């Protein structure tokens, strides 16, 4: 039985990862602060836990609970995340702490606390996949705490790849570009706050700047996560795989 713990499983990329892992015969343990936004098919989740990942006590409680029902974990997908869009000068300590807690501290400690389950029994292929962002490499104004968290998760991915190689666990990241999920829409709403702006038009116009000619979808990222978790790619570790339709590869001429 292959078991995957997937955070952020209620929505967007995490929900797509849960569906795709389940389709590949993984038993999926979903984690999120909210219930699934769209009702998943009955066979997606083995277990589903509502956890506020910004709270260490809830992470502990979650790990304690699943340790009673399962005997190992093969894959951890650290996907839960959020952004707060504000000018640097207006970011409060709470804004900074909350974004870092969910996007960086939770993957750090959830992975640490799941290690006993990840190193249990005989295994040939276990791995962690962190969802970073193109913002770890290049960014835009008003995303300072988010960008810091995503730079952090890509750096954490490299150091954990080195440390966990000793226990035969690979650690990789995916850096998605613009993916059509509730977070992307919220981000546009915050960036283009004027009521005169038509968000759908903005999103469609921005797609023209992506070499692939479109924003991505959850499945585009779930496929990359599955690739990194796949046994056949057992020599891939410490990698941050950019999945952005070519966006970062391009030099702007404007
Ligand atoms: P989303 O808003 O659809 O999903 C994020 C999920 O994280 C939500 O279900 C939310 O409830 C959960 N979450 C937030 N705070 C939480 C908390 N305290 N505890 C537990 N769960 C919590 O957004 P998404 O686009 O699917 O984002 C998933 C990941 O992908 C995030 O890490 C995000 O930074 C990353 N990402 C998204 C994009 C994009 O364009 N959508 C691009 C790059 C990276």
Q: What is the pTM of this model?
A: 0.98
Residues linked to residue 170 through DSSP beta bridges, in sequence order: 127
Residues with CB under 6 A from ligand 1: 8, 10-14, 32-34, 51-54, 79-82, 102, 131, 133, 176, 178-179, 181-184
Q: Dig out the tokens for 121 from the structure.
A: 């029994």
Cβ neighbours of residue 145 under 8 Å, at least 6 residues apart? 83, 84, 91, 95, 96, 99, 100
Give the active site residue among 26, 48, 98, 146.
146
Domains and CATH numbers, the chain: 77-249 (3.40.50.720)
Q: Helix, strand, coil % (nearest 5) of the chain? A: 45, 15, 35
Residue pLDDT tens, the chain, 254 long: 999 999 999 999 999 999 999 999 999 999 999 999 999 888 999 999 999 999 999 999 999 999 999 999 999 999 999 999 999 999 999 999 999 999 999 999 999 999 999 999 999 999 999 999 999 999 999 999 999 999 999 999 999 999 999 999 999 999 999 999 999 999 988 888 777 888 889 999 999 999 999 999 999 999 999 999 999 999 999 999 999 999 999 987 66
Cα–Cα distance for residue pair 254/251, rounded to 1 Å: 9
Give the burial class of 111: count Cβ atoms within 10 A of its Cβ; 0-12 exposed, 13-18 middle, 19 or more buried: buried
CA of 122 to the centre of ligand 1 (A): 33
Q: Looking at ligand 1, which atom is closest to the CA of residue 16?
A: 26
């Amino acid at each position: 039985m292959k078991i995957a713990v997937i955070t952020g499983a209620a929505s967007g990329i995490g929900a797509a990862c849960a569906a795709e892992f389940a389709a590949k015969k993984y038993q999926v343990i979903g984690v999120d602060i909210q219930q699934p936004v769209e009702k998943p098919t009955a066979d997606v989740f083995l277990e589903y836990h509502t956890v506020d990942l910004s709270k260490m006590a809830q992470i502990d409680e979650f790990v304690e609970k699943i340790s009673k029902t399962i005997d190992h974990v093969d894959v951890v997908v650290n996907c839960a995340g959020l952004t707060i869009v504000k000018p640097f000068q207006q970011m409060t300590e709470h804004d900074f702490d909350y974004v870092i807690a969910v996007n960086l501290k939770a993957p750090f400690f959830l992975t640490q606390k799941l290690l006993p389950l990840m190193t249990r029994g005989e295994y040939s292929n276990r791995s962690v996949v962190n969802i970073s962002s193109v913002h770890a490499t290049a960014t835009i104004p008003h995303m300072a705490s988010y960008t810091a968290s995503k730079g952090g998760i890509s750096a954490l991915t490299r150091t954990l790849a080195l440390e966990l190689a000793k226990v035969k666990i690979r650690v990789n990241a995916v850096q998605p570009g613009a993916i059509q999920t509730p977070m992307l829409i919220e981000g546009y709403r915050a960036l283009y706050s004027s009521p005169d702006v038509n968000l759908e038009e903005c999103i469609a116009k921005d797609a023209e700047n992506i070499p692939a000619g479109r924003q991505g979808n959850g499945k585009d990222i779930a496929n990359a996560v599955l690739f990194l978790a796949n046994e056949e790619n057992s020599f891939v570790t410490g990698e941050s795989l950019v999945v952005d339709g070519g966006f970062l590869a391009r030099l702007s001429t404007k």
